[in-house]
Structure 1
Amino acid sequence: MNDQNSDTTHFDPRMLESLICPVTHAVLSYDAERQELVSKAAHLAFPIRGGIPVMLVSEARELE
């Protein structure tokens, strides 16, 4: 199988419609290169691991 659903590390950008920043409740943007969901309002980037967003503040990277 070579379809996108067989790739376990694939993040579905449609998930952005359901996810919000756990700190500010603002919308998130997807950074495909870094595999992160970015909250500009909170200045945090949440990692995506194995195609699953990790929405824990303790796991987020602070943005400069």
Structure 2
Amino acid sequence: MTDATVIDRRMLEALVCPVTQAALTYDADRQELVSKAAALAFPIRDGIPIMLVGEARKID
């Protein structure tokens, strides 16, 4: 993450998984929002969460 890219914590807290409606956790190292309930990780690109299932990475 660059200095110009700032993640708004309040926005992240308001987002939920589009599949399960469960809470998401923020992985700062990978720049992802993780849905443990759906076993998916949604990328954050240029400070924008990409909440599309087709863009999500499956996790174990």
- Structure 1-normalised TM-score? 0.84
Indicate whether 1:43 and 2:39 are aligned: yes
Aligned AA (1:63): I
Q: Which residue of 1 aligns with 2:51?
A: 55
Larger gyration radius, structure 1 or structure 2:
1
- Mark the runs of 5 or more structure 2 residues left unpaired by the alignment: none
RMSD of equivalent CA atoms? 1.2
Indicate whether 1:31 and 2:27 are aligned: yes
- Mark the runs of 5 or more structure 1 residues left unpaired by the alignment: 1-5
**After TM superposition, where is structure 1 displaced by more than 4 Å over at least 4 residues in a row?**
none
- Structure 2-normalised TM-score? 0.89
Distance 2:29 2:22 in 1: 21
User: Could you tell me the percent identity over the aligned residues?
Assistant: 69
Distance 1:11 1:55 in 2: 15
Alignment length (residue pairs): 58
